[in-house]
Structure 1
Amino acid sequence: MSTSQRLTTAAVLIPIVFYLLSTPLSPLLLALLAFVNLKEMFTLDPFKIGAPQAVVAAAVGATLPYIFTTAPPSTSAPFSFILPLLSTYLFLLLRSSTPHLTATLCDLQVLHGYYSMNIIMQDLGMTTGVFLCLNCWGVDTAGLIVGKLLNKSTINKTLSSKPPFNLLKRISPNKTPLGFIACLFAGPLCTLICRCIPYASPYSSSPVSQSELLTAIGLSICCVIGDLIQSWQKRKANVKDTGTVIKGHGGVWDRMDSMILAASFLVLVPK
């Protein structure tokens, strides 16, 4: 699919999804997205489980974020940070000796991400949901464009061999240091742009503060970590896309990977 076709698909789907998220159907929509997301993940498990079992496991898992909706975000959201960091640590330290444990931790983090999205839509409101989406998409786009344009630059090659950027190549060879740096700057920039768009920022009625910019940087870091985890699992499974539900967009998980951790982060920080 060409870039123009991909953009057309996004232009059609995004308004529809935003409309559905603003209705009482939002929990059902998020449960459906979680189901497809989890099915893609289980199917990509390095040791592969059968398709019927993947469907059953995903169906059960998709209900979990909504069973525990009474749990206070302040006590539950921190787990979504422990899970991906622990899974990444296990991969880097122990490699293939813990594939099932690592995959399970990633799966649990995905579930918690959708639970956090449900909290955002139900309790924090559509404005915060739009803010989350625009920031995550902006960070992803900045990293992609800068990474491709400056991939062969001298600075990029120099940084690639130095910590902590050398970890990027170990987790996902296509990620670049300059792309990562662009993501960090994109978060605050997108946050400021959202202030200029009606109903796109929970901060628009207050002056720009240091905490707002720190929140934007935190969202950027969460987006990058979520994307790295997904890229690693795809490489372990030796596939380019996680699914074909959204034509030209690489599957539901490909579209949601950066939001999963960022949503839990946004639930925690004060508005």
Structure 2
Amino acid sequence: MSASTRWSDLGPRFGVGALIAAVGLICLWLGGLAFLALTVLISGVIVWELVRMLDPEAPAVALACASGVALLIADLLPTGYALPLVLAPIFVGIGQLKRHRATFSIFTLMIVLAGFGMYSIREEYGPTWMLWMALVVIATDVMGYFAGRFLGGPKMWPRISPKKTWSGTIAGWLGAVVVAIVFLQITDANGQLIGLAVALSMASQLGDIAESAIKRRAQVKDSSSLLPGHGGLFDRFDGMLGASVFLLMTAAIIDFPPGTVTGF
């Protein structure tokens, strides 16, 4: 592969990635309805992409809207009342899809939980820790991308994700460590933040691999063509889905943020 071919997607990836990051950071900082709207929109679009990949004849728009509305209402209710709504879109989809229902169920649960988790983390812990999680995922992706292109080496799982290398995977973990060290200097968190950052990085990579498995099954290159250089929103946010679901499930167990009394 020539150097020009290897880096041919860098321009579009950088431009679209910068735009997504800017919108995301603004909504993250504003919080409230702005961040709620962002998480609901992203989750709904990803469900639309998922359905189109799994069963093109299924009503993707209707299922995306159902997921978005359920998530919107769930975010505004106390958690105990919200949980049935998180699961409700799955049962709607089971009645509409003719194939790949199990895959749809698992990934729709992950998508809606991730949207619910991101909004919950922002509301409970403030912008600092939501930003930390986002930067861990971004560092994992960026370090993995450049290390994989520069260093290459053995593939991690070539049948599922042909471009993912072990060098890029490990570089992603190191990027997460750097982010954690920076936040150790500006917050009251203790050293356990480093281990948590690496775990989030791993969860992010598993989200990426899981989405790659869906695309292999559907025999498509990208989840959609919405984002030049990135494919679809699922392609862009697969890592964030894995990380946010992981943090949502473990925050109570690890007393998040580690070493602090409350987030800020």
TM range (shorter): 0.7 to 0.9
Structure 1 residue 260: deviation in Å?
A: 0.8
Counterpart in 2 of 1:124?
125
**Is 2:187 the partner of 1:205?**
yes
**Is 2:41 the partner of 1:60?**
no
With over 3 angstroms needed to count, the CA separation of the structure-2 counterparts of 1:125 and 1:5, relative to structure 1, is same
2:48 maps to a residue whose letter is: K
The superposition leaves residues 209-253 of structure 1 with CA deviations (integer Å, 9 ceiling, x where unpaired) of: 1x2111011101101110001111112222222123222221111
Counterpart in 2 of 1:148?
149
Cα distance in structure 2, aligned partners of 1:222 and 1:172: 16
More moved, 248-257 vs 238-247: 238-247
Counterpart in 2 of 1:30?
39
With over 3 angstroms needed to count, the CA separation of the structure-2 counterparts of 1:207 and 1:128, relative to structure 1, is closer
C-alpha RMSD of matched pairs (Å): 2.6
Aligned residue for 2:213, secondary structure, equals helix
The superposition leaves residues 109-167 of structure 1 with CA deviations (integer Å, 9 ceiling, x where unpaired) of: 1111111011022222111221111110110112222222232x4xx3xxx5xxxx5xx
Cα distance in structure 2, aligned partners of 1:182 and 1:231: 20
Q: TM-score, normalised by structure 1?
A: 0.74
More moved, 260-269 vs 102-111: 260-269
- Following TM superposition, the consecutive aligned residue runs of length 4 or more in structure 1 with deviations greater than 6 angstroms are none
Counterpart in 1 of 2:22?
15
With over 3 angstroms needed to count, the CA separation of the structure-2 counterparts of 1:258 and 1:123, relative to structure 1, is same
Cα distance in structure 2, aligned partners of 1:222 and 1:13: 21
Structure-to-structure mapping, 1:161-200, within 5 angstroms: 168-195=157-184
1:266 maps to a residue whose letter is: L
Aligned residue-pair number: 227
Structure 1 residue 178: deviation in Å?
A: 2.3
Cα distance in structure 1, aligned partners of 2:35 and 2:189: 31
1:65 maps to a residue whose letter is: L
Counterpart in 2 of 1:231?
212
2:244 maps to a residue whose letter is: A
Contact map agreement 2:184 2:190 (CA 8 A) in 1: no
Counterpart in 2 of 1:257?
238
Structure 1 residue 67: deviation in Å?
A: 3.3
With over 3 angstroms needed to count, the CA separation of the structure-2 counterparts of 1:150 and 1:99, relative to structure 1, is farther
Cα distance in structure 2, aligned partners of 1:207 and 1:112: 26
Cα distance in structure 2, aligned partners of 1:259 and 1:8: 19
1:17 maps to a residue whose letter is: G
1:110 maps to a residue whose letter is: I
Structure 1 residue 194: deviation in Å?
A: 4.4
Structure 1 residue 257: deviation in Å?
A: 0.4
Aligned residue for 1:174, secondary structure, equals strand
Structure 1 residue 169: deviation in Å?
A: 2.9
Cα distance in structure 1, aligned partners of 2:183 and 2:223: 30
With over 3 angstroms needed to count, the CA separation of the structure-2 counterparts of 1:255 and 1:195, relative to structure 1, is farther
Structure-to-structure mapping, 1:63-78, within 5 angstroms: 63-69=69-75, 70-71=78-79
Aligned residue for 1:68, secondary structure, equals helix
Which consecutive unaligned segments of at least 5 residues does structure 1 have? 81-97, 197-203
Aligned residue for 2:50, secondary structure, equals helix
